[in-house]
Amino acid sequence: MQVVQSVVFRKITDADFFNINKPAGIEVGGGGQSYIDFPTSGVTLQNWNTFLRGITPIQFTQGSSWEVPILSLGADTGTQRVKIYQRRANSVSIASQKIRSSENNRVHAWRPDLTGFPQPADPSVRIHIENLHVYIAKLDNGEYWAGWFQAGTPEPDWAVNRKLNRMFTENAGYIEFNGEVLFDTSDPAWAFKVIPRAEAPPSLDNFIGDSDELETEPEEEISDKAQNSQKVFFDEDEEVANDAPAIVKELMRKVRIRNTKAVRKLKELYQNICQISGEQYAFKKRNGKYYSEGHHLILLGQNGSDSARNIVIINPLIHRKLHYANVEGLDLKKIKDNKLTFKINGEEYTITWHPEHAKIVTQFN
Q: Give the span between the Cα atoms of 338 and 336, in whole angstroms.
A: 5
In this predicted structure, the answer to whether residue 274 has a pLDDT above a threshold of 50 is yes
In this predicted structure, the answer to whether residue 258 has a pLDDT above a threshold of 90 is no
pLDDT value at position 222?
A: 32
User: Domain residue spans in the chain?
Assistant: 2-194, 212-362
Question: Among the ranges 26-35, 39-48, 311-320, which has the highest mean pLDDT value?
Answer: 39-48
In this predicted structure, the answer to whether residue 335 has a pLDDT above a threshold of 80 is yes
Buried b (16+ CB within 10 A) or exposed e, 183-205: bbbebbebbbbbbbebeeeeebe
pLDDT tens for each residue of 157-179: 888 888 999 999 999 999 999 88
Q: Give the span between the Cα atoms of 287 and 271, in whole angstroms.
A: 14
Yes or no: is domain 2-194 CATH 2.60.40?
Answer: no
Predicted TM-score (pTM) of the model is 0.62
For residue 249, give every residue at least 6 positions away whose Cβ sits within 8 Å of its Cβ, in sequence order, or none: 241, 301
Return the DSSP state at 274: B
Residue 221 CA: distances (Å) to CA of 175, 205, 218, 263: 40, 19, 5, 18
Q: Give the span between the Cα atoms of 140 and 72, in whole angstroms.
A: 16
Q: Give the span between the Cα atoms of 200 and 197, in whole angstroms.
A: 9
Return the DSSP state at 199: S
